Structure 1
Amino acid sequence: MKTFEFTVTVTQEDLDELNHVNNIRYIQWIQDIAKAHWQEIATEDIYKAYFWVVRRHLVDYKASAHLHDQVKITTKFINSYGATAKSIIEMHNKSTQKLLLKAETTWCLMQTRTKRPTRVPKEIDEILK
């Protein structure tokens, strides 16, 4: 499975009252990397014809990130079945390599035209691998 990654730097706006990254921000970063990954791997025709929606996030928060930390975020698809695909997301402190978060997300593929779920076609299954 191909891994996609990017890095974010924690800003003041990412912090909660305990001065560590707010849990909601981690969820936003999961969404952000998923969108960037899809834009990277999908052809223009596929991107126009399909989109993904979240069915389920399973998130294990392991450690805190703080102001100015660089967080390396990685994702990869692990399988697809029917109209769904699963991805694994990990977030690490870039300088210490400490695991901050591990999540598994189940996505549902939707047709842009109908706004309805659709089975993952072979052409998409191939780019997820």
Structure 2
Amino acid sequence: MQTYESLLKVTQDDLDELNHVNNVRYVQWVQEIAKNHWTAATTHKIRETYFWIMLSHLIEYKHPALLNDVIKLKTYVTKAEGVTSVRVVEITNNNTNKLLAKSETTWCFMNSNTMKPNRIPEGISKIFQ
């Protein structure tokens, strides 16, 4: 299974009134790393023809992230069948390797021309295996 990772540092803008990363920020990070993985793994032509929409999203929060923590985002696709794909994102503290949050999102593969769901072509499924 192909993984994609990135690092970020928690800033003041990421924090809520409890001085830990706001839950909404985790959701933004999940969406951003999914998009970045898609962009890094595909061509411009593929991205002009297809896009993804979120169908469902589950996130489990395990431990808080705090100001100046270095966060590792790791994502991978666990299933791609028909018109849907399931993507996992693990969010860990890069210094302690402690799991902070884990998400599982179901995405629908869309055709830009018809604006309707499109069966995921084998070539695209193989990119993420």
Q: Where does residue 46 of structure 2 map in the other structure?
A: 46
Superposed CA RMSD in Å reads 0.7
Residue identity over aligned pairs, in percent, reads 47
- Residue 55 of structure 1 pairs with residue 55 of structure 2: yes
Write the mapping of 1:6-85 to structure 2, written as runs, cut at 5 A: 6-85=6-85
Q: In structure 1, list runs of 5 or more residues that go unmatched.
A: none
Q: Tell me how many residue pairs correspond in the alignment.
A: 129
Q: In structure 2, list runs of 5 or more residues that go unmatched.
A: none
Shift of 1:61: 0.3
SS of residue paired to 1:107: strand
| CA displacement, residues 96-129 of structure 1 (integer Å, 9 cap, x when unaligned) | 1110001111010001112111111111111121
Output the CA distance in 1 between the equivalents of 2:71 and 2:128: 24
For normalisation by structure 1, the TM-score amounts to 0.97
SS of residue paired to 2:21: coil
Q: Where does residue 4 of structure 1 map in the other structure?
A: 4
Which aligned segments of 4 or more residues in structure 1 are displaced greater than 2 angstroms? none
SS of residue paired to 2:75: strand
Q: Where does residue 114 of structure 1 map in the other structure?
A: 114
